[in-house]
Amino acid sequence: MTTTTLVVTAAPGPTSFNRAWAQASIDAARALGHEVLTSDLYAMGFDPAERGAHYGIDGPFDPLKAQAEAPTPPDAAAEAEKVRAADNILFHFPIWWFSPPAILKGWTERVLLHGHLHDVPNRFDAGRLRGKVALFCVTGGAQETEVGPGGKEGRIELLLWPLAYTLRYCGMDIAAPVTAHGVHGYHRGDRKTALEARLAKLLAAQRDVVAGLPDHPRWAFHPDSDFDETGRLQEGVAPLSPFHG
């Protein structure tokens, strides 16, 4: 059975490393015989703002009701169909102001359609996107020490956790992210040369990352059985994330 891989890119610069990294993922998946789908959000001009006008609604707007009951806007429908088709979804983006770019947050709000890709009975362990794997390939300007334990700019895992939990809510497995640190345009001399060499190695290794995704470490999330009827962790269950602490 052919594996289908979707590569979602949320980086505006056409010559940026994020774009080159995304292309490396696309090339690797194709070389491995995958069916490859792509969503380059900036190049597409994707509108990240959910609003009534997308549904022909001029007045009070309930986005969950509109997504479940109204005709899905063509751009969101096309993206949702890619998500349905994909076995693996690779997200390529930078960290800006301690979070993914707004266009990617908006993509989740418009594409992970209520009533179609999730609803209250079909979430978390029962999520409709069970069996799919998401991998974040992320760049940041901070040094690795600054986004590690005790780092001044906050742990990268916590910065990515809200996006990861959004996908987990829909049932996906989340692979441990692949990160590139200290990526910015202010390096000069030896520092610039060292960065370019480091990024070249990352691009060369991307085929192994894509090929190894079935065995790539996964982030741990609580199963539904860890929570009581009020939605709180059961007594004696240690939190797997500070967000549950």
Are residues 90 and 40 in contact, defined by beta-carbon separation less than 8 angstroms? no
Helix then strand then coil, % of the chain, to nearest 5: 45, 15, 40
Residue ranges with strand state E in 41-175: 88-94, 133-139, 173-174
**Per-residue pLDDT, 185:** 67
Q: pTM of this prediction? A: 0.95
199 pLDDT band, cuts 50/70/90, is confident
Dihedral sign computed on CA atoms, order 66, 133, 146, 141: negative
Q: CA-CA distance, 128 to 169, in Å (whole number)?
A: 9
- Note the pLDDT tens digit of each residue in 162-181: 999 999 999 999 999 999 88
Cβ neighbors of 216 (< 8 A, separation 6 or more) are 133, 135, 175, 176, 209
Question: Per-residue pLDDT averaged across 136-149, rounded?
Answer: 83
Domain extent for 76: 4-244
Q: Say how many domains are in the chain.
A: 1
Distance of CA 186 to the CA centre of its chain: 27
Residues 129-144 as b or e (16 or more Cβ within 10 Å = b):
beebbbbbbbbbbbee
Question: Per-residue pLDDT averaged across 129-137, rounded?
Answer: 98
- In DSSP terms, 122 is beta-bridged to 119
- Note the pLDDT tens digit of each residue in 55-105: 999 999 999 999 999 999 999 999 999 999 999 999 999 999 999 999 999
- How much of the chain, in percent, has pLDDT values that exceed 90? 81
CATH of the domain at 237: 3.40.50.360
Are residues 169 and 210 in contact, defined by beta-carbon separation less than 8 angstroms? no
Are residues 203 and 21 in contact, defined by beta-carbon separation less than 8 angstroms? yes
